[in-house]
Amino acid sequence: MKLTILGTGNAMVTECYNTCFALSEGSRHFLVDTGGGNRILKVLKDAKISVEDIHDVFITHEHIDHLLGVVWLIRAAATKMNQGKYEGQMRIYCHRGLVETIRTIANLTLQKKMTKHFEEEIVFVPLESGEKMEILGYPVTFFDIYSTKAKQFGFTMELSDHKKFTCVGDEPYNEADYEFVKGSTWLMHEAFCLFGEAEEFKPYEKHHSTVKEACETAEELKIPNLILYHTEEKNLKNRKKLYTEEGKAYYHGNLYVPYDLETFHI
Ligand SMILES: [Zn+2]
- The per-residue pLDDT for range 133-166, each reduced to its tens digit, is 999 999 999 999 999 899 999 999 999 999 999 9
Contacts of 64 (CB under 8 A, 6+ apart): 11, 36
Tell me the average pLDDT across 22-37.
97
Task: Give the pLDDT confidence score for residue 58 in this predicted structure.
Answer: 98
37 CA from centroid of ligand 1 (Å) = 13
Q: For residue 8, how many other CB atoms are within 10 A of its CB?
A: 26
For 21-79, the DSSP string reads EEEEETTEEEEE---SSTHHHHHHHHTT--GGGEEEEE---S-HHHHTHHHHHHHHHHH
265 CA from centroid of ligand 1 (Å) = 25
Task: Give the pLDDT confidence score for residue 133 in this predicted structure.
Answer: 98
For the chain, what is the mean pLDDT? 97
5 CA from centroid of ligand 1 (Å) = 15
83 CA from centroid of ligand 1 (Å) = 34
pLDDT tens digit sequence for 109-139:
999 999 999 999 999 999 999 999 999 999 9
**What confidence category does residue 98 fall into, taking pLDDT thresholds of 50, 70 and 90?**
very high
**What confidence category does residue 246 fall into, taking pLDDT thresholds of 50, 70 and 90?**
very high
151 CA from centroid of ligand 1 (Å) = 12
Tell me the average pLDDT across 103-113.
98
Four-point Cα dihedral 246, 249, 253, 254, nearest 10: 30
Spatial separation of the C-alpha atoms in residues 156 and 137, rounded to whole Å: 14
Task: Give the pLDDT confidence score for residue 186 in this predicted structure.
Answer: 98
Spatial separation of the C-alpha atoms in residues 189 and 68, rounded to whole Å: 21
Three-class DSSP category at 3: strand
Residue 23, CA distances (Å) to 26, 116, 228 in order: 10, 28, 16
Task: Give the pLDDT confidence score for residue 239 in this predicted structure.
Answer: 98
Task: Give the pLDDT confidence score for residue 211 in this predicted structure.
Answer: 98
Spatial separation of the C-alpha atoms in residues 129 and 200, rounded to whole Å: 35
222 CA from centroid of ligand 1 (Å) = 25
- The neighbourhood of ligand 1, an ion, using CB within 5 A, equals 65, 170
58 CA from centroid of ligand 1 (Å) = 14
pTM: 0.97
Three-class DSSP category at 80: helix
Percent pLDDT > 70 in the chain is 100
Residue 30: beta bridge partners? 23, 56
Task: Give the pLDDT confidence score for residue 167 in this predicted structure.
Answer: 98
